[in-house]
Amino acid sequence: MPPTCTADSASVQALNMQCLCFAVYLQGHVYLPSGVCMSGMGRHVSFDQAVAWKVLGEDSSVHCLALCFVNWSFV
């Protein structure tokens, strides 16, 4: 039987973040469907939609990754 991964698995979350970063790198932005994530304070947050995009510095290099969550709430 093949191994299974849960949504809470750290390796699955790391892979999802790598996929997100790669998509933003290629396209410049990415839309995310509704879901649940963890805040910087360690609390679970649900959201209806999210957008991630890369922010460029003055020299056109990638400065950071920005996120905007729509209709979010702590669960």
* Contacts for 11 with CB less than 8 Å, ≥ 6 apart: 5
Q: Enumerate the domain spans of the chain.
A: 30-75
CA torsion, points 42, 68, 19, 7, in degrees to nearest 10?
40
Under 8 Å between Cβ of 11 and 19: no
Q: What is the chain's pLDDT, residue by residue, as a tens digit (75 residues)?
A: 434 434 455 655 665 667 777 777 788 888 888 888 888 888 988 999 989 898 999 998 888 888 899 999 998
pTM above 0.85, yes or no: no
pLDDT value of position 35: 86
pLDDT in the model for residue 48: 92
Q: Would you state the pLDDT for residue 13?
A: 63
